[in-house]
Structure 1
Amino acid sequence: MLFHNINVVAAVLSALLLLAGYTESANILHVIPFSAMSHYIFLRHIGLELAQRGHNVTVITTHKEKNPPSNYHQVQVQKKQIWELIGGERPNIFDMAELSSEEFHHKVVWPGGLAFTELTLNSSDVQEFLKKDNTFDLVICEQFVQEALYTLASKYNAPLVIISTFGNCMRHNIMTRNPLQLATVLAEYLKLNNPGNFWGRLRNLYFTVYEYLWWRYWYLEKQEDLVKKYLPDLIGKTPSLYEMQKNASLMLINSHFSFDTPTAYLPNIVEIGGMHVRKSNKSLPEDLQKLLDESKHGVVYMSFGSNIRSAELPEHKKKAFLNVFKELKQTVLWKWEEDVLEGKPKNLFTGKWLPQQEIIAHPNIKLFITHGGLIGMQEAIYNGVPIVGVPIFSDQYNNVLLAEEVGVGKLLHYNDFNEDTLNKTINEILNNDSYLKTAREVQKRWNDRPMSPLDTTIFWLEYVIRNKGAEYMKNPARNMSWFEYTMLDVYAFILLIIVAVLAFFVKLILIVRAIVYGKQTNKMTKRKKRL
């Protein structure tokens, strides 16, 4: 009995010690300055959850939380939209449907990334923060063309974790020597109609190389210039930005194999798809709750997200939606950013800003019409709601294409759709139970995980802290040259040996042939002389 009690006490003490190792408070810097609300919706939960678990969290952000925990500290970045920074008025986002992937990078991604990085480093609150004598155990940065901010990990001599609000990143794969799998895995901003055929795979290869070379040899140099300008004390004391990302302790990506293309990843590249989605404790506004509850034929919900304004739709596109909606027996709820929508049918209700997660979670939602933004797509997957997608730019096309391939939705090309195609597509989803059935099947497998995406995120962040950067998880091949990693030098050597052996045997055959032929010739000559 005594030994039994001793064993129980020992087990309890061991458990307490283990728990202490998991919950030991750390100083964590969370760098998420990009102003797009969709990015913040995904990333905000990390800092808040870390603070709730007892860590001391400092967040560099454009968006401030109203009532954060006392151990959650916010450093304000000046709030500006990307269009203000790249020297022009806000365009009609729908016009971006015309841009190629290359044009989107050169007109939006590269200049926007540089402008936001400079805005962050030049913000007065950030400048004051950087002057203080802070120490951090971990630095978390969003991986979204703001690489100069990785330098903060070097400044505070802390492990670097990068987080992508998108899924797979080809640039990161190349530098860390993660398998590219170009036959099945697409570059994140590439628009392809038939990614699996020959021309699609060729285009994927071309764009992956194109984007990497521009980023590696032009864009990163511009980011390095910002480091020299705003962090001059670190000049010569830090690795290059390329080396910092290559040696990041961990990369967390917003994807999951239950919906996204199954992909091979290194142990320090972890999928946390849908981290922002959870069962909400918030209640809907009373009028919305009543509307959704009392719609006996269900509700069609439409939103083009936080960056795209439905109110900017061209008149003929707007009329197509209105004409289709008025023929539906379902109630339609549309995120419309203006006070008035002319020609609004009786079954259509609008709101300038709607609580999307709570709406999509309502059991009466029958269809989600979306631009294909990943945040909203994952909310639909989590709740088993079919979609109709009208992608405009960035990763939206790939997201909707994947939903169509899986069988949970349909893709409408923005430039091509009209009232007729819109009507057929919406009614096909609403009247064909296979889409809802598939959506519910995908919902089950999406949510069937050993830990929630947020718990998975926190586990790996704390894992990196506990294991002081977890150097052993990094791929040793990242320090090899491309020729060494791909074994081209070895294959070339083997080929050289094979060629040498073949050449030897060919030469030997020629010599033997010459000897035999020479003897035969001598015999013939002697015979002729005798005659």
Structure 2
Amino acid sequence: MEALKCVLFFLTVANWCESANILYVVPFTSKSHYIMLKPIGLELARRGHNVTVITGHRDPNPPPNYRQVMVDEKEIWDVIGGRPNVFDMAQTSTEEFHYNILWKGGLAFMEVVLDSKEVKAFLAEDNKFDLVINEQFYQESLNVLAHKYNAPLALVTTFGNCMRHNILVRNPLQLSTVISEFLPLEDPTSFYGRLRNLYFTVYEYIYWRYWYMNEQERFVKKYIKGLPEPVPSLYDLQRNASLMLMNSHFSFDTPAAYLPNVVEIGGSHLIRSNTTLPADLQKVLDNAKNGAVYLNFGSNVRSAEMPEDKKNAIINVFRKLKHTVLWKWEDDHFKNKPDNLIIRKWMPQKEILAHPNVKVFISHGGLIGTQEATYNGVPLIGIPIYGDQFNNLLQAQSFGYAKILQYNDINEENLYKLLHEVLTNDSYAKNAKEMSRRFQDRPMSPLDTAMYWIEYVIRNNGAHYWKNPALELSWIAAYMIDVYLFIFGVTLLFLYVVAKVVSIVLSAFSGKKTKKQKTKRS
């Protein structure tokens, strides 16, 4: 009875929050990011909050209290010369990926967003908001909207731990085990792995802090007028963010120490889906007597752009299988299609992976898809292309429910060998089911967790008291460098004094000995 009272009390507190006006800035380019973040905005609206969303992806059936300020996605891609062939990134170094794709692309996208007609019209309105939520993904200039509307700032990531944010808010870095989010490392805890992680974390932070953020500041001055003076820097705005929601969970991601206002909500898009499989795909999977193999390289990676030799190798492997194969294929044409292969330009991935007849998921290793496979207990064969994909797959492989096939190693023999192993060795399916159980074993669903802490920040006017007090200290004081230098200096002084005393004693002893020797001779 007492336990029931506690549960009822908790649910009452968790659900109590007066209706608030929330500005939610969700991603403009990647549909996979939007898939993960959209449920947060819709759930806030479902709970009675008035949500305004700035986005490049329109929801077709929004609730009446869910306003969409649209940015033309086509314009965003046009500004960088069109959508790139992502397979070309497989040879790109991490440094090149950051500079040419994330940083330069982020700046180009941001200028299109701020210069768009709908966003300009929206910013000219006299609006009031109780909270601004922005994605922590290279759109930092929009953090200034928290200052414009005198509202707390919450950040949300579609990936996991963010090293830049850790440094800003003085969260422990834990560089020996926690990897910078887009740095592929085969052996992260080796000496080389830790050295590379340290180097890249410092490199990325300095470049981001002293170049990229200055460029974002330029956009603020150019496009966002009439801000209350004094205008804080984007650096300080992010540093004082009230909440960071991360798309991670310790059951899959590396366990780490986090400040109370850094909260894991990994898999928040996997709950409360009203979508069902289309009737034709439902029938296909129901009739897959030998099971099904599902191949999807995500929303940004287009299978149709794959080189012919690799595409033919995959087709030849599928032709050997007794299984039904589903493949997201974006082109209207497909040569030499095997009879067991079903292609579609878009696949309802969550619903396909939830079907019991799906035996393996061939994926590029994006975090959203990896979480969907983990949630549904489906083994993976991962072909990483760029970004965090290798690290996601490395985690899954370490738990025994995935195998990695490097992009350059795609050929008929390698793919068939891995596919045969995963399909015939029951340990992969068993480990995948165990990971699914762990991933879902939580006191609250990840979406409810996000709702609780977002509403907590609103209820407590930004909850500034739960931020790290080290924010008020210089980085030298925060990391105790002055104390360590003092101890080091005192230790050196002590050793110097000891050495001096020993030297004097030895010198005195040596002098006495010399005198005795002279006395004996005389």
With normalisation by structure 2, the TM-score equals 0.96
Establish whether residue 36 from structure 1 lines up as the match of residue 36 from structure 2.
no
Q: Would you say the 8 A contact 2:17–2:459 is kept in 1?
A: no
Structure 1 residue 33 displacement after superposition = 4.1
CA distance in 2, matches of 1:219, 1:485: 25
Establish whether residue 209 from structure 1 lines up as the match of residue 190 from structure 2.
no
Alignment correspondent of 2:278: 285
Alignment equivalent of 2:44, drawn from 50, 66, 81: 50
Alignment correspondent of 2:130: 137
Structure 1 residue 26 displacement after superposition = 0.5
Establish whether residue 183 from structure 1 lines up as the match of residue 176 from structure 2.
yes
Higher mean displacement: 236-245 or 167-176: 236-245
Query: Could you say if the C-alpha distance between residues 433 and 478 of structure 1 is closer, same or farther in structure 2, counting changes exceeding 3 Å?
Result: same
SS of the residue 2:73 aligns to? coil
Alignment equivalent of 2:70, drawn from 70, 73, 76: 76
CA distance in 2, matches of 1:378, 1:230: 37
CA distance in 1, matches of 2:498, 2:187: 47
Structure 1 residue 23 displacement after superposition = 3.4
1:108-163 Cα offsets, whole Å, 9 max, x none, are: 10111111211111111111111111111000000001100000000001000000
Higher mean displacement: 146-155 or 194-203: 194-203
Task: Specify every segment of 5 or more residues in structure 1 that has no aligned partner in the other structure, as ranges.
Answer: 1-10
SS of the residue 2:269 aligns to? coil
Q: How many residues matched? A: 516
Alignment correspondent of 1:476: 469
The equivalences for 1:168-179 within 5 A come to: 168-179=161-172
SS of the residue 1:49 aligns to? helix
The equivalences for 1:447-526 within 5 A come to: 447-526=440-519
Q: Would you say the 8 A contact 1:35–1:80 is kept in 2?
A: no
Q: Would you say the 8 A contact 1:228–1:235 is kept in 2?
A: no
SS of the residue 1:233 aligns to? coil
SS of the residue 2:409 aligns to? coil
Alignment correspondent of 1:198: 191
Q: Would you say the 8 A contact 2:27–2:33 is kept in 1?
A: no
Instruction: Give the greater-gyration-radius structure (CA).
Output: 1
Establish whether residue 442 from structure 1 lines up as the match of residue 439 from structure 2.
no
The equivalences for 1:333-352 within 5 A come to: 333-352=326-345
Establish whether residue 85 from structure 1 lines up as the match of residue 73 from structure 2.
no
Higher mean displacement: 147-156 or 227-236: 227-236
Alignment equivalent of 2:151, drawn from 155, 158, 161: 158
The equivalences for 1:219-234 within 5 A come to: 219-234=212-227
1:224-251 Cα offsets, whole Å, 9 max, x none, are: 0000101232285221111111110000
Q: Indicate the RMSD between aligned Cα atoms, in angstroms.
A: 1.8
Query: Could you say if the C-alpha distance between residues 17 and 426 of structure 1 is closer, same or farther in structure 2, counting changes exceeding 3 Å?
Result: closer
Query: Could you say if the C-alpha distance between residues 116 and 355 of structure 1 is closer, same or farther in structure 2, counting changes exceeding 3 Å?
Result: same
Structure 1 residue 19 displacement after superposition = 6.0
Structure 1 residue 15 displacement after superposition = 7.1
The residue type equivalent to 1:108 in the other structure is: I
Alignment correspondent of 1:8: none
The residue type equivalent to 1:212 in the other structure is: Y
Alignment correspondent of 2:399: 406
Query: Could you say if the C-alpha distance between residues 33 and 441 of structure 1 is closer, same or farther in structure 2, counting changes exceeding 3 Å?
Result: closer
1:389-448 Cα offsets, whole Å, 9 max, x none, are: 101111111111111111111111001221111110111100000000000000001011
CA distance in 1, matches of 2:106, 2:369: 23
CA distance in 2, matches of 1:395, 1:62: 23
CA distance in 2, matches of 1:162, 1:278: 21
Structure 1 residue 17 displacement after superposition = 13
1:482-503 Cα offsets, whole Å, 9 max, x none, are: 3222212111111211221121
CA distance in 1, matches of 2:165, 2:67: 30
The equivalences for 1:260-271 within 5 A come to: 260-271=253-264
Alignment correspondent of 2:411: 418
SS of the residue 2:156 aligns to? strand
The residue type equivalent to 2:346 in the other structure is: W
Alignment equivalent of 2:422, drawn from 429, 436, 439: 429
Higher mean displacement: 170-179 or 279-288: 279-288
The residue type equivalent to 1:70 in the other structure is: P
CA distance in 2, matches of 1:340, 1:503: 80
Structure 1 residue 339 displacement after superposition = 2.0
CA distance in 2, matches of 1:179, 1:185: 10
Alignment correspondent of 1:331: 324
The residue type equivalent to 1:463 in the other structure is: Y
CA distance in 2, matches of 1:40, 1:147: 17
CA distance in 2, matches of 1:202, 1:400: 22
CA distance in 1, matches of 2:14, 2:436: 35
The residue type equivalent to 2:491 in the other structure is: I
The residue type equivalent to 2:285 in the other structure is: L
Structure 1 residue 202 displacement after superposition = 1.0
Which runs of at least 4 in structure 1 moved beyond 3 Å after TM superposition? 14-21
The residue type equivalent to 2:296 in the other structure is: S
**Percent of aligned pairs with the same residue?**
60
